[in-house]
Copies of this chain bind each other. A is one copy, B any other.
Amino acid sequence: MKESGLYQSPWNFLGLPEDLAQPGRARAWVLPVPYEATTSYDAGTRNGPAAILSASRPIERFDPEFDCEPASEFGVHTLPPLKVTYRSPEAMLDNVARAVTGILTGSPAPDLLAVLGGEHSLSAGVARGLAAARPGLDLVAVQIDAHADLADEYDGSRFSHACAARRILDTCPVFQVGIRSLSAAEEKFRRSSSRVQTVFAEDAKPGGAWLKALGRFVKGKTVFLTIDVDGLDPSIMPAVGTPEPGGISWETLLDVARVICREAGSLPVFDVVELAPIRGLISPDYICARLVYKIMSLALMRRKPGRKSR
């Protein structure tokens, strides 16, 4: 029926051929969660996952850092978007947690799950789903963000995007990088809590001591990496709700990922959230797609001996 070569590659992350995208073959899976409901400022994060998938298609698969095409080795399976119930944030969190647990404990199951948001509030569901799937393990979270997201309640809800990190703390300790906006209550909580460490954006410079602290934090642990893309500087990531100036650079973000992939016991899941695509401006979408692919490669590829990490 379909003559080979006449049709385009399937609609999946990186536009991979079907064999590389089968669940039984792919070691990395992508789960889109286009959830948006509690955002206070401006709308758009519900379009984030579709924008990242679309932008990922022209990405070149070859990566000089690994001198090969990582995706052709590990494969990537793209799940359909999660159905996000709008009844309440709690119901959404339950669904996300249930989906993540189901995926990680299923058969076949991925070695690495990349969740694409959607607003940051969903990350607490990811953490909870991971904890349920890996019950005995020592879990920690690393958070890239401009905002501490440590509010216990916001706009009358304990599950607002402004409570994202606080709800993750219900599951495991958190190491924050890039923070430059928080409330007085969050600052007070942060100082009093032994479960949260914060590296402010002005201190998150290349080669700083904070990278060593991060290494110690994740050492041997099962890590959940949650990336609110507004942690990046608005110069390269303007497509967010509250684009705080003075953010971290692309290189610093990769440094964080490299430390985690080198030191952690395992990285079974990460998410990239809060992209609010701007019509006509593909740069932020493309950079997010690049980021997802790079983290997959860092996590799943064995390093070539004798080649220094960049």
* Chain A residues proximal to chain B, CB less than 8 Å: 1-3, 5-11, 23, 36-38, 40-44, 46-47, 57-62, 64, 67-69, 79-83, 85-89, 95, 98-99, 102-103, 106-109, 147, 155-157, 160, 181-184, 186-187, 200, 202, 233-236, 238, 240-246, 250-251, 278-283, 286-287, 290, 310
Interchain residue pairs A-B with the least CB separation, the first 5 = A238-B283, A1-B106, A235-B235, A243-B283, A279-B279
Which residues in B have their C-beta under 8 angstroms from that of A282? 41-42, 238, 241, 243
Q: Are A290 and B244 touching (Cβ within 8 A)? A: yes
How many copies the complex holds: the figure is 6
In the complex, which of the residues B60, B83, B184, B279 contacts A68, with contact meaning CB atoms closer than 8 Å? B184
Which residues in B have their C-beta under 8 angstroms from that of A3? 98-99, 102
The DSSP consensus for interface residues of chain A is loop
Q: Are B85 and A88 touching (Cβ within 8 A)? A: no
CA distance A89 to B86 in the complex (A): 8
CA distance A184 to B72 in the complex (A): 11
In the complex, which of the residues B156, B241, B287 contacts A234, with contact meaning CB atoms closer than 8 Å? B287
Which residues in B have their C-beta under 8 angstroms from that of A38? 86
- Nearest to A80 among chain B residues (CB) is B7
Which residues in B have their C-beta under 8 angstroms from that of A147? 60
Distance in Å from the Cβ of A4 to the closest Cβ of chain B?
10
- Nearest to A202 among chain B residues (CB) is B310
Which residues in B have their C-beta under 8 angstroms from that of A81? 7-8
Which of A8, A81, A107 is packed against the most chain B CB atoms within 10 Å? A8
